Amino acid sequence: MSFERQKILVLGGGYAGLQTISNLQKKLSFQDADITLINRDEYHYESTWLHETAAGTIDWERGTYPINKVVDTQKVKFVPAAVTAIHKDEQRVETNQGDFEYDILVVALGFESESFGIDGMDEHAHTIVDPETAIAARQEIEKNFANYRSSGDEKDLSILVGGGGFTGVEFLGELTVSIPELCERYAIDKNKVKITCVEAMPNMLPMFPENLVDYAVNYLEDRGVEFKVGTPIISANEDGFVVKADDEEQQIEANNVIWTAGVRGNSLMEASFDGVKRGRIVVTPDLTIEGYDNIYAIGDVAAVMNGEGEDARPYPTTAQIAMQLGQHTAKNIALTLNKERRVPFEYDDKGTVCSLGPNDGIGLVFGREIKGRKAAFMKRVIDSRAILQVGGPMLAYSKGKLL
Ligand code: NAD
């Protein structure tokens, strides 16, 4: 492989892909390489804000920006196209806009919803995985609330959230703000609304200490959310979820059904690589794929291990780690072009915040517990920082959440 004018192809314009591009732009000159970014849409969306669109607290445009706004067109060619196949041995990627050859490939194709084969889930539940699904969930709730005035059907005012993980809890937090507004708009008594969260495990959000989880649960319960924990969903149908409670099957009825209980990496991964589990491939410490040192897998399609040996576990897939993986990949590509050795990735876990609507939350940040308005502010800092890092101060000013 010659090291002049290498063809670098980045697939995906999410957190990991855009961080790779923005750091490559800084590190490489246009003589060093032909850099191409391929993304399905012309815009990037903040996937960690989608629950807000789904609940109706923000419009979807608020969390998106055109990719061309952050790409230096002198150095990077952006192609809006859908990737359909990766031929790793031919160093070629197929898209609906034609084929692309590469010397170095970065696969950052993101996540999909995972229903774990639960009967009826794909047909009967909404998901929150991209702007289209988030908008559809929001429209469904609005349609049913509007319909209630003529139907009088309690199911129209019943919202079922499957899974009390991060997405489920953050979505519930936004609902506590948007649902009272919706009730006002359609002159509905808000006491008639039922919001139920069904969680399989007896303990929710196990990454947080018990007192913070209690705070989050109490906060949401005080605003009308009912939790059913230790209650796995076993199927979904047109009336809602069937759950297992006290060893008995029970139907929980609702016309607004949202599944937030599972994500997986992009299914193109299984079709393209060996040893892929739930759309994720284990990467080497320098973030390349075993046997292919010119292919990086990063973000939600990568299982990045927290060590070596039998006890090693993959880090949870988050926006925070995706951004660091993108930065590191750009660094390793620059080292490769410089004929230097790539360096192993080290995760710098700054902590995590789970919002409870726009004004509250819980978090563990730099090892310190935070809750309430402080956590909500920290969440806005995190959300704005992601935009600042990729798009600079002007974009952070117009799209960030600090102003
Ligand atoms: P998750 O895996 O974190 O949570 C899913 C929840 O659904 C779990 O609590 C699980 O027990 C439950 N569940 C699974 N099967 C079920 C069933 N059959 N019935 C009932 N409950 C069931 O998924 P997520 O919330 O989509 O998050 C995905 C990833 O993104 C995670 O790694 C998370 O850390 C990250 N994330 C982070 C943030 C943040 O940092 N604020 C926000 C959203 C997502």
Query: Does 6-40+81-113+264-340 carry CATH code 1.10.10.10?
Result: no
User: How far apart, in whole angstroms, are the C-alpha atoms of residue 390 and residue 393?
Assistant: 9
**pLDDT attached to residue 2:** 45
- Closest CA to ligand 1's atom 2: 262
User: How far apart, in whole angstroms, are the C-alpha atoms of residue 336 and residue 277?
Assistant: 29
Long-range pairs for 221-227 at CB < 8 Å and ≥24 separation? 223/176, 224/176, 224/179, 224/190, 224/193, 224/195, 225/172, 225/175, 225/176, 225/195, 225/196, 225/197, 226/194, 226/195, 226/196, 226/197, 227/164, 227/196, 227/197, 227/199
Q: Give, as one character, the DSSP assignment of residue 110.
A: -
| DSSP character string of 215-232 | HHHHHHHHTTEEEE-S--
Reported as a single tens digit per residue, the pLDDT across 200-236 is 999 999 999 999 999 999 999 999 999 999 999 999 9
Return the ligand 1 atom nearest residue 231 CA. Answer: 20
How does residue 357 score in pLDDT terms, banded at 50, 70 and 90? very high
Domains 6-40+81-113+264-340 and 121-261 share a fold: yes
Return the ligand 1 atom nearest residue 163 CA. Answer: 7
Q: Which region holds residue 237: left if phi is over 0, alpha if psi is between -120 and 50, else beta?
A: beta
**pLDDT attached to residue 267:** 96
Reported as a single tens digit per residue, the pLDDT across 155-193 is 999 999 999 999 999 999 999 999 999 999 999 999 999
Residues with CB under 6 A from ligand 1: 48, 118, 162-168, 170, 198-201, 232-233, 260-263, 316-318, 352-354
Tokens, residue 314:
């993959």
Under 8 Å between Cβ of 114 and 264:
yes
pTM: 0.95
Is residue 170 among the annotated active site residues? yes
The full set of domain ranges for the chain reads 6-40+81-113+264-340, 121-261
| DSSP character string of 133-188 | HHHHHHHHHHHHHHHHHHH--GGGGEEEEE--SHHHHHHHHHHHHHHHHHHHHTT-
User: How far apart, in whole angstroms, are the C-alpha atoms of residue 283 and residue 298?
Assistant: 8
CATH of domain 121-261: 3.50.50.60
Return the ligand 1 atom nearest residue 317 CA. Answer: 32
Looking from the CA of 398 toward its CB, the CA atoms found within 13 Å total 9
